[in-house]
Amino acid sequence: MKKMLTMAVVLAASLLSLCACSSTDPPADPGEAPLQSWYKTDAYTLLLPQGFAAQEGEDGAVTLSLDGQAVGGVQVVPYPNAAGFLDTVGAASEDSRDSGKELMRQLSPEERLAYMMTVSEDGTYLEISCSPDTPDVTPEEETMHYLFPQGDQFYDLYFQAGPVSADQQQSMAKGFALHP
């Protein structure tokens, strides 16, 4: 019986060794940076591409940086029936335009902005491209907002369009998930 138990232990150790050696994943290089990382809060999870970092401030807003430079963030924007607002985007009614103006005042109360709103292809968030409403605007002054509704608020994932490419923005918008 003792000999059988010893053989079982040796067999189990051999199988574990064989499994460990047959992994198809290359060994991780400790000096190699990951291509993506996850940033998690109690309210949401965000996929960050390589070079991006997230830092939560005292007010709960999150600052996103790319290679050490602040390029955007995540903030909560109070808005009654945020999910219902997505259904009104694109309507040619005066109420819809007034609601859009009110939302823009929430996003940037100190500036007069030119903006364009669309609902994402999958209908889950609002995309807003905005820039100062002046004749000599450069593309670097454009800010992109991706607003995810939850109850009476939006989670606003926003970027300076100059330093953050459209692909990086879309990657993060698709990698943003609200927790129930």
Q: Which pLDDT belongs to residue 104?
A: 84
Position 81 pLDDT exceeds 70: yes
Position 1 pLDDT exceeds 90: no
Q: What pLDDT, in 10s, does the model give residues 3-50?
A: 443 343 333 434 333 333 333 333 344 444 457 899 999 999 999 999
Q: Which of 99, 108, 177, 118 is nearest to 141 (CA)?
A: 108
Q: Which of 24, 25, 22 is nearest to 14 (CA)?
A: 22
> Per-residue DSSP letters for 52-99?
EEEEE-TTS-EEEEETTEEEEEEEEEE-TTHHHHHHHTT--SHHHHHH
Q: Which of 18-32, 70-84, 125-139 has the lowest mean pLDDT?
A: 18-32
Q: Which pLDDT belongs to residue 92?
A: 62
Q: Which of 34, 41, 45, 35 is nearest to 175 (CA)?
A: 45
Domains and CATH numbers, the chain: 36-178 (3.40.1000.10)
Q: Which of 49-53, 61-65, 141-145, 170-174 has the lowest mean pLDDT?
A: 141-145
